[in-house]
Amino acid sequence: NAGVTQTPKFQVLKTGQSMTLQCAQDMNHNSMYWYRQDPGMGLRLIYYSASEGTTDKGEVPNGYNVSRLNKREFSLRLESAAPSQTSVYFCASGEGQQIYGYTFGSGTRLTVV
Amino acid sequence: SQQGEEDPQALSIQEGENATMNCSYKTSINNLQWYRQNSGRGLVHLILIRSNEREKHSGRLRVTLDTSKKSSSLLITASRAADTASYFCATDEAGRRALTFGSGTRLQVQP
């Protein structure tokens, strides 16, 4: 099925460890996004990529880096994980100007101990 | 900061009843969207209403938008147990390049 694929689905890290969350879309969308979801907080934007080759900070970028590898793939990297980064991470894709809505992946549940 | 704030935070109704959720926002928008999230899953786009529209329908969903009050409502008619989920509004704000999501309403439909 067409859509957005995220890996892994679950991950436990120790404080200070690093990891990369992978995201790939086959919708041929130009824009891709990383959000985190915490209880009672809704979704907060970490980084986004309006088009291949560009990335921009969102609301909560500290502690994260991203790479837009090509049109399909947008990865999120935690260089030195902290307990405050325990969250559910969602990748999404969409056409520019948010006209048609986003397609979301199923999420990565990350726990940092 | 959260742009959209949903009200109520949680709602429990019986199957067959209507469910109404509200969303308030603070700045000028190009459009407002509603998403559903089933437990443990990603968000699914339900409906989009543009800033120059006042009402929109899609199946059992009815969305209204009042830009003068900076508010929107989502009505689900004749609810079903399968409608049990969290519902989020998201705003496309003028000058921003990504949607801003609210904190959501948890809807429980009792069979």
Q: Which two tokens stand for residue A96?
A: 């520019």
**CB neighbour list of residue B18: distance below 8 Å, 6 or more residues apart:** B75, B76, B77, B78, B79
Give contacts of B30 with chain A, Cβ < 8 Å.
Answer: 97-98
Higher local confidence (pLDDT), A95 or A7: A7
Restricting to B residues 42-81, those with a Cβ less than 8 Å away from any Cβ of A are 42-45, 48
Task: Give the tens place of pLDDT for each residue, B13-33.
Answer: 999 999 999 999 999 999 999
Mutation choice for B interface testing from A1, A4, A7, A102 by most B CBs within 10 A: A102
pLDDT band at residue B1, thresholds of 50, 70 and 90? Answer: very low
Indicate the residue type of B97: R
Higher local confidence (pLDDT), B3 or B90: B90
Q: What is the mean pLDDT of chain A?
A: 94
pLDDT band at residue B2, thresholds of 50, 70 and 90? Answer: very low
Task: Give the tens place of pLDDT for each residue, A45-86.
Answer: 999 999 999 999 999 999 999 999 899 999 999 999 999 999
Give contacts of A42 with chain B, Cβ < 8 Å.
Answer: 2, 4, 88, 101-104
Chain B: closest CA distance from residue A105 (Å): 6
Cα-based angle B77, B83, B69 (whole degrees, multiple of 5): 55
pLDDT band at residue A97, thresholds of 50, 70 and 90? Answer: low
DSSP codes of every residue in B22-36: EEE--S-EEEEEEEE
User: Is the predicted pLDDT of residue A99 greater than 80, yes or no?
Assistant: no
